[in-house]
């Protein structure tokens, strides 16, 4: 039975890999972004550091993103569409309106009493109990934790290495006060093999809290 399950998993990964064209990384991190440590998370063995959402439709994901990120429904839909419209979708692509979606969330331990979360909004390919990541559509940071919110200036580097794995790097500074804005890189949405940056800028910053650097791998199935 174990060999059968492993065979099914191997067939799934092969199926997803054949349906998603891998291309060279379009944006690489700067030298300061050289990974120092990394970890692997298996969403089939979920712990307190990783949360996978239930599968969602286009409308459900748009509503979820709008509420979580405090943006309009129209803005959320635009992010999910990824600068596409129904007339620009190739015959090999699934329409965004018919696609499936999930969010993947990991905790960033900035300090003992401050742990914001990193949120990946993804289009997925679902096959029974198995799935693959087709695209990373948006990446955000929820900076609220236990009633405390900090401001962040820095960068999140995201690389969808395959349909099975997201690699990420967070580097920047947290402040007690200020105004934070973030800009999604032009590389988004990220297909398998692509990478991009999410840039956070902070104005009127006061009371430097902490410099932070962290990196990790977000894996659907252990390789």
* Amino acid 91: pLDDT: 53
The Cβ of residue 202 has, within 10 Å, a number of other Cβ atoms equal to: 20
Flag whether pLDDT at 99 surpasses 80.
Answer: yes
* Amino acid 83: pLDDT: 62
Confidence at 223, pLDDT banded by 50, 70, 90: low
Model confidence pLDDT, tens digit, residues 12-59 = 444 444 444 333 444 444 333 333 333 444 444 443 467 899 999 999
This prediction has a pTM of 0.76
- Where are the chain's structural domains? 50-81+95-219
Higher pLDDT, 69 or 30: 69
Flag whether pLDDT at 113 surpasses 90.
Answer: yes
pLDDT over 70 percentage in the chain: 73
Find the angle CA(142)-CA(32)-CA(222) to the nearest 5 degrees: 60
Pick the range with the lowest mean pLDDT from 2-11, 122-131, 185-194, 204-213: 2-11
């Amino acid at each position: 039975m174990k060999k059968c399950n492993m065979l099914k998993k191997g067939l799934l990964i092969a199926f997803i890999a054949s349906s998603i064209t891998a291309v060279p990384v379009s944006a690489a991190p700067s030298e300061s972004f050289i990974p120092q440590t990394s970890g692997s998370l298996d969403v089939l063995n979920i712990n307190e550091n990783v949360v996978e959402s239930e599968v969602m439709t286009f409308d459900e994901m748009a509503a979820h993103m709008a509420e979580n990120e405090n943006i309009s429904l129209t803005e959320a839909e635009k992010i999910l569409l990824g600068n596409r419209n129904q007339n620009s979708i190739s015959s090999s692509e699934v329409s965004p309106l018919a696609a499936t979606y999930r969010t993947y969330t990991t905790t960033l331990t900035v300090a003992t009493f401050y742990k914001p979360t990193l949120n990946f909004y993804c289009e997925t390919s679902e096959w029974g109990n198995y799935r693959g990541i087709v695209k990373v559509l948006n990446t955000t940071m929820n900076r609220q934790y236990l009633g405390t919110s900090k401001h962040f200036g820095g960068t999140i580097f995201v690389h969808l290495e395959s349909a099975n794995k997201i690699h990420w790097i967070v580097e920047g500074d947290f402040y007690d006060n200020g105004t934070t804005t973030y800009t999604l890189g032009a590389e988004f949405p990220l297909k398998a093999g692509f990478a991009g940056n999410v840039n956070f800028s902070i104005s009127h910053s006061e009371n430097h809290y902490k410099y932070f650097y962290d990196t990790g791998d977000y894996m659907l199935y252990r390789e």
